[in-house]
Amino acid sequence: MDPAAAKLIGAGIACIGMGGAGVGVGVIFGHYLAAALRNPSAAQGQFGNLIFGFAVTEALGIFSLLVALLLLFAL
Amino acid sequence: MDPIHQFDVTKLYVFGHLGGAEIAFTISALYMLLSVALIALLMIGATAQRAVVPGRLQSAAEISYEFVANALQSTAGPEGMKFFPLVFSLFMFIATVNLIGLIPYTFAVTAQIIITSALALLVFLTVIVYGFWTHGWRFLRIFVPPGVPVYMLPLVSTIEVLSFLSRPFSHSVRLFANILAGHITLKVFAGFVVMLGAWGALGWLGAVLPLGLTVALTALELLVAFLQAYVFAILTCIYLNDAIHGGH
Task: Check whether A12 has a pLDDT greater than 80.
Answer: yes
CB pairs under 8 A between A and B: 39
Say yes or no to pLDDT of B118 above 90: yes
Res B248: pLDDT: 56
Contact A66 B173 (CB under 8 A): yes
Q: Vertex B234, ends B232 and B227: CA angle to 5°?
A: 55
- Whether the pLDDT of residue B146 is over 80: the answer is yes
Q: What domains does chain A contain, in order, with CATH numbers?
A: 3-74 (1.20.20.10)
The tens digit of pLDDT for each residue in A33-58 reads 999 999 999 888 888 788 888 888 88
Reply yes or no on whether the pLDDT at B81 is more than 60: yes
Higher pLDDT, residue B123 or A74: B123
Mutate to test the interface with A, among B94, B113, B170 (most CBs of A within 10 A): B170
**Main-chain dihedrals φ then ψ at residue B23, nearest 5 degrees:** -100, 115
Is the pLDDT at B50 greater than 80? The verdict is: no
Mutate to test the interface with A, among B73, B169, B172, B180 (most CBs of A within 10 A): B180
> Do the beta carbons of residue B227 and residue B67 sit within 8 Å?
no
Cα–Cα distance, B221 to B230 (Å, whole number): 14
Q: Is B173 an 8 Å CB contact of chain A?
A: yes
pLDDT for position B3:
75
* Residues of B whose CB is below 8 A from A69: 177, 180-181, 184
ipTM of the assembly?
Answer: 0.73
CA of B71 vs chain A CAs: smallest distance (Å): 7
> At residue B20, what are phi and psi to the nearest 5 degrees?
-95, -10
What pLDDT does B99 receive?
A: 94
The predicted pLDDT at position B247 comes to: 56
Average pLDDT, chain B: 89
CA dihedral (B38, B127, B241, B177) in degrees, to 10, reads 60
Looking at the DSSP bridge assignments, the partners of residue B21 are B18
